[in-house]
Structure 1
Amino acid sequence: MKVAALIAGLCLAFPVWAQHNTSASHDDLMALLQQRMAQQQIPALQVAVIEHGKVVELAALGTANVENGVPATNDSVFSINSCTKAFTGVAVMQLVEAGKIKLGDPIGLYLDDLPPAWRALTIRQLMTHTSGLPNIIDEQENLLGGENEALSWSKVKALPFEFAPGERYRYNQTGYVLIGKIIEKLSGESFVQFVENHQFKPAGLKHTRFGDSSDVVAHSAGAYTYSRNEGGKWLTGTRLAIAYVTFPAYFRPAAGILSTAGDIAQWLQALQGGKLLKDKASLQAMWSPYVLNNGTTQGPNDLLNGSALGWPVTVRGAHRAAGPIGGMRSAFFVYPEDALSVVVLTNLQGVNPELFIDDIAGLYVPAMHPSTGFGLPPEVLPLRTALLQRGFEQAPQVWAEFQARDAQALPGEEALNVWGYKLSSQQQLPQALAILRLNASVHPASWNAYDSLAEILEQAGDRQGAIANYGKSLALNAGNSHASERLRALQAR
């Protein structure tokens, strides 16, 4: 697709609002969230929903402090981690509106102490993770020089580019540290002061602040994890542990805000209501995906498949969203076409709430309800229709019929995998297993297909089935650390 057509078709504009489901109830939302919390063992969760500029839902569930059994309330304060980048995006657009900066400017106009190869990079490339800069954190997500800013800079400046600017997307913290330096130079304030003075205060945020695990924070919801990072890979176990994070001052443009779902909702109201940015065109610019050199877009995952100014975005035909994500624990989606926003904050790393925020939105926008198949890869929809009519137990027979008619139209391995996990997340385990068994049978050389099937078998309580399929996955890929870890855990029971 040509770049001009792509931008015209994918930018998050402001058309007529979609029809909402006015019967969406508190009970429906609570049931969905309680299901997710039980499935993913989430200690605490906060949610806020904004419709047509008004907060229509604000709730807290679970335990904010596990050690002392403190219940979560609407005043519980959660770390939003890299969702902070959305605030940095707003800060940059405020400077754009003030005429102090342009998104296409090379950063060499504003910073002197840069390697020569860095000087031509643009503000937009830094903010959309398309610069190719080496990362100031290592594979285990530790700053190269710890809290020593000078040491971190000396180490990262000595590293080569990871790819040519604009060639592809790769999540990168270096660009945001540089953006923070530019904001400080142009505003005459520290980054933290600039955001506090130009966003926190105008939006009237009472609970929001910068901080990390070293701070004493009133009503803190804490941070927990079942995961650990080994050699750059996230491994999931069964032991709940405290997640300790440090965000030095120089890293705060990338992460470090603590907040509540209510405050984030209030900030979104201020943002879309003209209190933080004067021109709606600024919002559209901030939420427009960067187009790579080859004319495509990329983002953090298959759902958030575009990258804008501090905001990952969904690039799809309808119900597009701008959705910051942070720490694999917090996310909020703005659906401009639907006059809807959803905020989900949790205190458990690895939850990835962005993966079920569309389901929450589906309670308010009928066309997005999971029963319509919304959010699934388009190529699975004909097969889905047939199986809904004939039963998921008929998956092998229906697949054979589709294959005989038009094998080229059949969904691929990844699409079937996405569908299987989606069914699992909706507590439709028999259907999920039918699709994942189908996927493994038609892709017998895929270690990932067996790994996914084993994971859902384990979730369904089929220990022997999980062991068998993790074994098949390892036979195809001896380096599959997830399968080896789960096998050890299952065989030890």
Structure 2
Amino acid sequence: MARLHIPGMAVAVVKDGRIALVRSYGTANVEFGVPVADDTVFAINSVTKAFTGVAAMREVELGRLDLTAPVERYLQDLPASWHGVTIRQLLSHTSGLPDVLRAPTVETDQAAAWDWLRTQAPLFAPGARFHYCQTNYMLVQRIVNQLEGRAPDAPLANEQLRAAGMTSTAYGDTYSVIPRKAPTYRWQWTGPKVHGYPAPTAAESLQADGNRTLTAVSERFPPFRHAASGMNSDATDMARWLIALQQNQMLKDTTLNLMWTPVAFNSGRLGQWGMGWQILQRGDHRAVGMTGGGRAAFYLYPEDKVGVVILTNLTGSYPEDMIDKLAALYIPDLPLGGVPGLRIALESRGYEQAAQAAADVERSYPGQPWQEDELNDWGYRLLAAGRPADALAVLKLTAERFPASFNAQDSLAEALAVNGQREAAKRAYQRVLELHPGDPNALKQLESL
């Protein structure tokens, strides 16, 4: 918390069907000096998607929703170009649909945003690749509510909140009055940016508190987006929900395992998403969970009957990077190889040691594969946190481990550009075009460079 300048944090751990730990740290409301308490409520943002995954899988379990069915089976007012997208592709962000967040009126006029969205063409063929897109969950919300006979914009998680005894969890945004809710903050800095990320000179200024300004975050989550974001909760409530899931109060084991099965792309390569949940491998252990807003995260380790929740009030704190190390205290044989082991090593040894540290991790855990998406996501979190040199070290390693991936090369090129290494960035973008001829982003960036 000191290193990342996080004002407030709450932590909960579940083990063997009970809450094993609840801890609160720091300040919930900086303006009034209110400390974080065990019942402090935080915005959990996209963690909401995991609740939506459960709601959708409940419909699957009841036989009303078919994951392999095209979306037009359930919704008849979709553009013809969207036909063929399956429910599974919506839930795993592999649909290729345009993102409603790009609609000019997304926060002010739902009808106009929907009209705009329906004029937009798909970005790629369904199942071709991953694209994090709020449209997917907007459609899932409409479908599940139609099956349940509710209004299209009705929230999906209320049944789960009752089943788990979650008394502090509610939908809402900056404009809602939510008891005991901590405001959300962000550290702002001045200085040059490249691709929207702090350039090295700005990043260096982040080390001095005098060059930082803590600002409040304002967010709008209208009801039609409540399947994707908009929930608020405390750590204890989240722990209760994880226990209820493990005790099959919402879904059967077979349905849970289906929800936690990674969805494959058309190429056959497994992605990092199941049905509303991210799926990560920790040796022969699974970690399933979700993150939200760069400030909230939880992982459940199903075979170990352990769950960890970390909620903060700082955008850019990325608590998902802390969870595995905490979980290892409750799972003594949890192998911290791959990305978790490398993250722990680099935070202590320095990111300039990335190549050597990765080799050491591989020797210690020879059977632990590197997950490209997880490495890539980590690199971008470092860019967003104003740590461009550290991000470059991680994304360079990703490109080395996945030399045939045009996405890994594209990410490396962007990190090189942010770090001012223009000629190296050009070479990386040229490599993208070799692997993915005609790639529009690579052509655009080469022209700019």
Which of 39, 51, 54 matches 1:90? Answer: 54
TM superposition shift of 1:160: 1.5
Question: TM-score, normalising length from structure 2?
Answer: 0.73
Q: 5+ unaligned residues in a row in structure 1: which ranges?
A: 1-36, 299-305, 403-410, 425-431, 454-469, 479-493
Overall identity of the aligned pairs, in %: 36
Question: TM-score, normalising length from structure 1?
Answer: 0.67
* Shift in alpha-carbon separation, 1:242–1:143, aligned structure 2, 3 A: farther
The residue that corresponds to 1:201 in the other structure is: 162
Which of 247, 265, 269 matches 2:243? Answer: 269
Matches within 5 A, 1:47-446: 47-138=11-102, 144-190=105-151, 195-226=156-187, 233-235=196-198, 238-277=212-251, 279-298=252-271, 306-315=272-281, 317-368=283-334, 375-376=340-341
TM superposition shift of 1:366: 2.3
Aligned residue for 2:333, secondary structure, equals helix
Q: 5+ unaligned residues in a row in structure 2: which ranges?
A: 207-211, 361-368, 383-389, 401-408, 427-449
Aligned residue for 2:262, secondary structure, equals coil
How far, CA to CA, are the matches of 1:224 and 1:170 in structure 2?
27
Conserved? CA contact 1:367–1:374, under 8 Å: no
TM superposition shift of 1:368: 3.2
Q: Give per-residue Cα distances to partners, 1:176-217, cap 9 Å, x unaligned.
A: 001111111110124675635421111111100000000111
Counterpart AA for 1:367: D
Counterpart AA for 1:375: P
* Shift in alpha-carbon separation, 1:107–1:224, aligned structure 2, 3 A: same
Conserved? CA contact 1:359–1:369, under 8 Å: no
Aligned residue for 2:88, secondary structure, equals helix
How far, CA to CA, are the matches of 2:22 and 2:333 in structure 1?
23
TM superposition shift of 1:447: 13
Conserved? CA contact 1:330–1:345, under 8 Å: yes
Conserved? CA contact 2:68–2:87, under 8 Å: yes
How far, CA to CA, are the matches of 1:312 and 1:192 in structure 2?
25
How far, CA to CA, are the matches of 2:248 and 2:43 in structure 1?
26
* Shift in alpha-carbon separation, 1:143–1:38, aligned structure 2, 3 A: farther
* Shift in alpha-carbon separation, 1:255–1:132, aligned structure 2, 3 A: same
* Shift in alpha-carbon separation, 1:178–1:234, aligned structure 2, 3 A: farther
TM superposition shift of 1:75: 1.0
Find runs of 4+ consecutive structure 1 residues off by over 6 angstroms: 228-232, 446-453
Counterpart AA for 2:110: E
Q: Give per-residue Cα distances to partners, 1:378-429, cap 9 Å, x unaligned.
A: xx99xx9xxx9xx99xx89x89x99xxxxxxxx99x99x99x99xx9xxxxx
How far, CA to CA, are the matches of 1:249 and 1:375 in structure 2?
36
How far, CA to CA, are the matches of 1:232 and 1:55 in structure 2?
43
